[in-house]
Structure 1
Amino acid sequence: METRVLTVDPEHPDPAALAEAAAVLRAGGLVAFPTETVYGLGANAMDADALARIYAAKRRPANDPIIAHIARVEQLDELAREIPASARTLAGAFWPGALTLVLKRAPAVPEVIAAGRDTVAVRMPAHPLARALLQAVNLPVGAPSANTFTRPSATTAAHVLEDLDGRIDLVLDGGPTPIGVESTVLDLTGPAPVVLRPGGVLLEDLQGVLPETTLAPRYLAEDGATDAPGQLLKHYSPRARVLLFTGGREASRARMQEETRRLAAEGLAVGLLLAAEDTAAFADTAAIEVLGAEGDHAAISRRLFEALRALDRRGVDTILVRDFGRAGLGAALWDRLLRAAEGRVVDAGA
């Protein structure tokens, strides 16, 4: 199919563009649109056939659930049952925003959205264009990230087209996404709230509202059964192999320098994802993408997926990156890097 692109002012979206996108969604088509986290690939969340088209377009395995996006808190009752009071509390504190709640699925919601399980993942995005689209279509919209399965998530319309051109109906180009990593996924179906995927809403902030919240991300094989999105170990991965270095700053730099020399001696092209403070130590390496200042996790998050895609475009064989800490947004960065590396972690020591 031909994929149309409509460039839209995210703050003041053109009503005609919104009406066209809403009509595509109501007809069972696929529309990519920006959220505050990454671009989503949307379909009518109440239409099993439309949701199946998402899986086909992304080449996404049927065991990986899809998040339903809503414009109004009242829509939660259309999608979930036995909603705990904690869900209303969290919605009041963090919606609209980068928080996804896993709840028990209402009977009317197609099971394909939850990979056949008895749950549903729901969030209310804060991005003005996403909110305007959801209000225009007046339906819950199922939307995973707008990329082919396991690839780095799309944070620009160009990334969407890189993966999905000719496979979806429409892209609303609202510019780059402001956060750059996906939403936090919080499971409320058990005895205590559990973060299954760290993301744009911080664990520390969740604990300020629900102190009993814990972090327990899962890193499952591709054929593992998942009850929430983003739990597979291979995820957000470039074509190049990724090695993630952890340990002290100087020790990690030294091990990365050593590995760069070793791989170059084997005739392999090496790419580096670096903090700005690390660049002087790798001045002789051709393929470098600077993520931002070491302590600026927000800047690093915005750049991460673009930088992974940029190194792929440069044809590198292996990408080296180090841990940037795990407090605050660092937890989400560690999670994305670990999945991009498919668990290949090098402990450099202190």
Structure 2
Amino acid sequence: MKLHKVTSQSIKEAALIIQNGGLVAFPTETVYGLGADALNPLAVARVFEVKERPNFDPLIVHISSLADIERLCLKIDKMARTLMKHFWPGPLTLVLPKSSLVPDIVTAGLPTVAVRMPSHPVASELIKAAGTPVAAPSANLFSRLSPTTAKHVKEQLGDKIDLILDGGRSPIGVESTVILLASGKAHLLRPGGLSLEDIENVIGAVKIQIPKSLSPLSPGQLPRHYSPRTPIRFLPPGKIEFEKGKKVGLLAFTPLKAKMPCEVVEILSPEGDIVEAAANLFPCLHRLDKAGLDIIYAESVPKIGLGRAIMDRLYKAVGDSRSE
């Protein structure tokens, strides 16, 4: 699969593919998405097939205009409109009651739909050119590391999809924050590229407890996700003794204060900047996963700002059911 540099022509070509029921990988400000016409059930079914994604895990629908939200959703309350006004376009997904226009395959049969308006210019232009809402989970194999470059997409999906738009590295580096709005209250379903603090500054307290459901209400809620193929664990506190004969990699938040017996060390942020750390999370994990290691140890980061999203991804990569 050839990577296509972003030009007006390549965006037109990508839009035509989506209109004809094909699949296009494209950059967003969070991670690369795998896009299909959200109103075409057969195209959406192919997304699940290519990603090897279970059909009970709903998709996020991406839009380029607020006019689309009126077509896709019912009961758009004042809180939803306030969040849209402050944070769209941007890395915020809202889960709202769906209209009959949205195919059940997109929502895994749920009465709600997850909707986002991306701020990345390529994503916005592509959705406009396609003339349809675009269902777009991350452009990777299900449960594997998220892609923040076109190369990451190619390595995982290869020739399974119709076109990859290469728009450079995704600047935020973690998926969108997902908020469920129900009965006048906001529930955090997935921490992401918009901090909880920023949201609460606008609408007040957000509930962290997720409403009980037999199925995920949004992507990223399953207990194991975002995982490298190499086994990964959290770095234990205190004196560390790694197993002899094992090739060990370390994902560190900041530069090490003491030397450790590691084959490879990846540092999320030399200055301890949590935003930089989020942007570097998946690129660092991709490099560690390709280093021929027996195990990766990950250091915890402070759960402030985007640190909450980083820790959510690490918990799920490890297979730890905690997200808070």
Aligning the two structures, in what range does the TM-score lie when normalised by the shorter sequence?
over 0.9
RMSD between aligned residues: 1.8
Task: State which of 138, 141, 144 in structure 1 corresponds to 2:137.
Answer: 144
Task: State which of 19, 36, 49 in structure 2 corresponds to 1:43.
Answer: 36
2:100 corresponds to: 107
Q: Which moved more, 1:296-305 or 1:160-169?
A: 296-305
User: Distance in 1 between the 2:147 and 2:108 partners?
Assistant: 22
2:259 corresponds to: 282
2:5 corresponds to: 7
User: Distance in 2 between the 1:144 and 1:37 partners?
Assistant: 11
CA drift of 1:190 comes to 4.0
Question: Is the alpha carbon distance of 1:82 and 1:344 closer, same or farther for their aligned partners in structure 2, counting shifts above 3 Å?
Answer: closer
- Amino acid of the structure 2 residue aligned with 1:287: V
TM-score of the superposed pair, with normalisation by structure 2 = 0.95
Is the counterpart of residue 68 in structure 1 residue 46 in structure 2?
Answer: no
Question: Is the alpha carbon distance of 1:218 and 1:58 closer, same or farther for their aligned partners in structure 2, counting shifts above 3 Å?
Answer: farther
1:85 corresponds to: 78
- Amino acid of the structure 2 residue aligned with 1:317: D
- Amino acid of the structure 1 residue aligned with 2:320: G
Question: Is the alpha carbon distance of 1:186 and 1:109 closer, same or farther for their aligned partners in structure 2, counting shifts above 3 Å?
Answer: same
Kindly tell me the number of residue pairs found equivalent between the two proteins.
322
- Amino acid of the structure 2 residue aligned with 1:147: N
2:126 corresponds to: 133
Partner of 2:18, secondary structure, is: helix
CA drift of 1:218 comes to 8.7
CA drift of 1:100 comes to 0.1
CA drift of 1:332 comes to 0.5
Alignment of 1:222-261 (within 5 A): 225-245=215-235, 252=237, 254-255=238-239, 257-258=240-241, 260=242
Structure 1 unaligned regions, length at least 5 = 9-13, 247-251, 346-350
Report percent identity of matched pairs: 44
User: Distance in 1 between the 2:313 and 2:211 partners?
Assistant: 12
CA drift of 1:191 comes to 4.2
2:273 corresponds to: 296
User: Distance in 2 between the 1:105 and 1:219 partners?
Assistant: 19
Alignment of 1:70-219 (within 5 A): 70-216=63-209
1:249 corresponds to: none
Task: State which of 269, 273, 280 in structure 1 corresponds to 2:247.
Answer: 269
- Amino acid of the structure 2 residue aligned with 1:25: I
Aligned residues of 1:203 and 1:215 also touching (Cα < 8 A): no
User: Distance in 2 between the 1:91 and 1:344 partners?
Assistant: 30
Partner of 1:289, secondary structure, is: strand
Question: Is the alpha carbon distance of 1:282 and 1:116 closer, same or farther for their aligned partners in structure 2, counting shifts above 3 Å?
Answer: farther
Q: Tell me the alpha carbon deviations over residues 317-348 of structure 1, each in whole angstroms, 9 at most, x when there is no partner.
A: 21111211101111101101100110189xxx
TM-score of the superposed pair, with normalisation by structure 1 = 0.88
Structure 2 unaligned regions, length at least 5 = none
Aligned residues of 2:247 and 2:262 also touching (Cα < 8 A): no
Aligned residues of 1:219 and 1:231 also touching (Cα < 8 A): no
Partner of 1:154, secondary structure, is: coil
Partner of 2:4, secondary structure, is: strand
